Structure 1
Amino acid sequence: MKSGVNPPMLPYATLAGCTMVITRPAGTGSALARQVRRLGGTPLLLPGLSLHAVPVSEALRAAWRAAQHDEFMIFTSPAAVRYAMALGPCDAHGVVIAVGQGTAGALRRHGMDAQMPAERQASEGVLQLPVMEHLQGRHVALVTAPGGRGLLQEQIAARGASLREVYVYRRGAPRLHRRHIDAVLHLPSSACVLLSSGEAMQHLMERLPDVAWQRLCHLTTIVSSERLAEQARAAGFKQVQMAASAGPADMLATAMKVCSHTRYEADRAGC
């Protein structure tokens, strides 16, 4: 199957017999693993990131309280919601925005409705929301972790807004053990890697032994954006498929197409 070409829909709408490598941050992949199992697949948790709360200080609590009075509050991930809510309740006075479905779902669990991009669930999609078009003189709070691409910060400032960054957690490298490496080395060629973070991919490339990294690179990789597809190809991934978003439903829908194609080709070869 050529890189970037989606296989046709075929009558195998399950993940039966397929292994899904889940690279979400440590401690956050269980729900996706359960979905993989429900669809008949086998999940392998291979965290590409670790998440940690930042030290709580009065300055941080004050920033969190002040952010609730800004005209816009943007949450960049489910982790941003979780760590922010641990600082105290939220009574947002302005527009609440979530980068994607997972973040919007986390906010709903705290009784908050959020706007989110309908299609491109990433920084680019947030910037394309109608409410983000006219920011001159407005106050925007970004609830997030330090680092990352910086696209939201750059564009919000360029549009003339006053930006408040509230760092409620930090991302770091994962702790990979021998069991992770052994599991990668024994992956079948039909396995798929689910990848929704360039930072996670970079950590795995740096921390896996070369033989294990090369094993991953020869598997079909499902990514959540064209930007990440380009990064994955540059990192050495040979077969890259792009999902509609980083949402579990979209990632797994693409995985089912890939597995369907694999089983179809196996059936043809067996004829």
Structure 2
Amino acid sequence: MQAMDKHAKPCGWTFVSLRPQGQHAALRVALAHSGACTLGLSPWRLQRRPDAAGAGALRTALQASAVIFTSPAAVAAAASFGDAFLNAPERPWLAVGDGTLRALRAHGIEHAIAPSRMDSEGLLALPVLADVRGKTIGLVTAPGGRGLIAADLQARGARLLRADVYRRVPLRLPARALARLSRSPRPWVLAVSSGEALERAWAQLPPAWRARWQAGMAVVVASERLALQARALGLATVRVAAGPTAAQLAAAAVALHADRTQHR
């Protein structure tokens, strides 16, 4: 695992990414001129599910009155099934955020829409989901994560057609990655766009490392809900970014770093 971005010089502070293994590049690019080193600390990797059961579940989900895609990874995995994705009937296809929307449009799905507030709450507030009682809603996703969407839609009376087209394979946090972090320049800023990723990473931290994060790790999060989760873990310095994209998280991290440096 490449822990530090050797192209980011001078390296005066450290940005920690919890994104899946191999998916830190966008954050490194967004921070290329910020003076930050980027350290990837992935609690999982993503694995597509290219089996017949997955294809069948996807075909069923794509017949629903509206179809929700929860991430760019969900779009990529669904597209890998070929005809099940490409020949689906035209329905309202909904993306949780801008990255997912771009992924859908890259596959020719021009009728896809996304909320201006790029999180589960923003998606659930879309007019197309205002009255779902008795309707079928497709959910193209992975096991775990974004449970709010499924729970809310079912509580409103929708019948959910779920297609788990990929899965998150848990990874151990390597001791060498934490050792690299201990040698990395402070301040440290952690980016959180997934509550489940934060939970998995936190659960693996030894008590001494939890104390170090509580004492010295600032956090940028993609939503107010994630801010509450981070603060509940004792992470006191938390800033809410404008959204979950790499550019938005990077901008919030740079602003947070600047504020902390100014008030030293």
What is the aligned counterpart of 1:25 among 20, 24, 31?
20
1:142 equivalent among 139, 143, 151: 139
**Which of 53, 60, 69 is the equivalent residue of 1:66?**
60
Contact 1:20 1:42 in 2 (8 A): yes
For residues 9-88 of structure 1, the aligned pairs below 5 Å read: 17-54=12-49, 56-88=50-82
Contact 1:184 1:212 (C-alpha < 8 Å) held by counterparts: no
How far is the alpha carbon of 1:240 from its aligned partner?
1.0
Q: By how many angstroms is 1:261 displaced?
A: 1.6
Give the Å deviation of 1:169. 1.2
What amino acid maps onto 1:90 in structure 2? L
Q: Is the 8 A contact 1:24 1:46 kept in 2?
A: yes
State which of 77, 100, 104 in structure 1 corresponds to 2:101.
Answer: 104
Closer, same or farther in 2 for the Cα pair 1:28/1:51, shift >3 Å? same
Percent identity of the aligned residues?
38
- Deviation of 1:230 after TM superposition, in Å, equals 1.1
* Cα distance in 1 between the residues matched to 2:213 and 2:24: 18
Q: What is the deviation of 1:170? A: 1.5
Residues 90 and 214 of structure 1, relative CA distance in 2, 3 Å threshold: farther
CA deviation string 1:168-209 (max 9, x = no partner): 112232232232111222233312111111111111112233
Kindly indicate whether the alpha-carbon contact (under 8 Å) linking 2:63 and 2:138 is maintained by their aligned counterparts in 1: no
Q: Which residue of 2 aligns with 1:246?
A: 244
Higher relative contact order structure (alpha carbons within 8 Å, sequence separation ≥ 6): 1
Number of the residue aligned with 1:263: 261
What is the match of residue 198 of structure 1? 195
Identify if the C-alpha distance between structure 1 residues 171 and 21 changes in structure 2 by more than 3 Å, giving closer, same or farther: same
Distance 1:203 1:197 in 2: 10
Tell me if structure 2 keeps the 8 A contact 1:75–1:98: yes
Q: Is the 8 A contact 1:70 1:141 kept in 2?
A: yes
Report the TM-score when normalising by structure 1.
0.84
CA shift in 2, pair 1:188/1:232, >3 Å: same
Contact 2:218 2:237 in 1 (8 A): yes
Please give the secondary structure, in 1, of the residue aligned with 2:178: helix
How far the C-alpha of 1:140 sits from its partner, in A, is: 1.2
Measure the CA separation in 1 of the matches of 2:34 and 2:196.
Answer: 28
Distance 1:142 1:191, change over 3 A: same
**Partners of 1:160 and 1:204 in 2: how far apart?**
35
How far off its partner does 1:107 sit?
Answer: 1.4
Partner in structure 1 of residue 119 of structure 2 = 122
Confirm whether residue 90 of structure 1 aligns to residue 81 of structure 2. Answer: no
Aligned residue for 1:37, secondary structure, equals coil
Q: Are positions 1:168 and 2:168 aligned together?
A: no
Q: Matches of 2:52 and 2:24 in 1, distance apart?
A: 32
Residue 194 and residue 184 in structure 1: after superposition, are their counterparts in 2 closer, same or farther (change >3 A)?
same
Do the aligned residues in 1 keep the contact of 2:69 with 2:95 (CA within 8 Å)? yes
Q: Is the 8 A contact 1:99 1:122 kept in 2?
A: yes
- Structure 1: distance between partners of 2:125 and 2:11: 38
Matches within 5 A, 1:179-218: 179-217=176-214, 218=216
Q: Distance in 2 between matches of 1:234 and 1:187?
A: 26
Report the Cα offset of residue 69 of structure 1. Answer: 2.6
- The answer as to 2:154 corresponding to 1:157 is yes
Paired residues of 2:140 and 2:162 also in contact (CA < 8 A): yes
Give the Cα–Cα distance (whole angstroms) in 1 for the partners of residues 51 and 256 of structure 2.
47
Contact 1:174 1:203 in 2 (8 A): no
User: Structure 2 length normalisation: TM-score?
Assistant: 0.87
Q: What one-letter code is carried by the residue in structure 2 that aligns with 1:211?
A: A
Distance in 1, matches of 2:213 and 2:181, equals 7
Please report how far the alpha carbon of residue 234 of structure 1 lies from its aligned counterpart in structure 2 after TM superposition: 1.2
Deviation of residue 16 (structure 1)? 6.8
2:191 is paired with a residue of what secondary structure?
strand
**Closer/same/farther in 2, CA of residues 69 and 238 from structure 1, 3 Å limit:** same
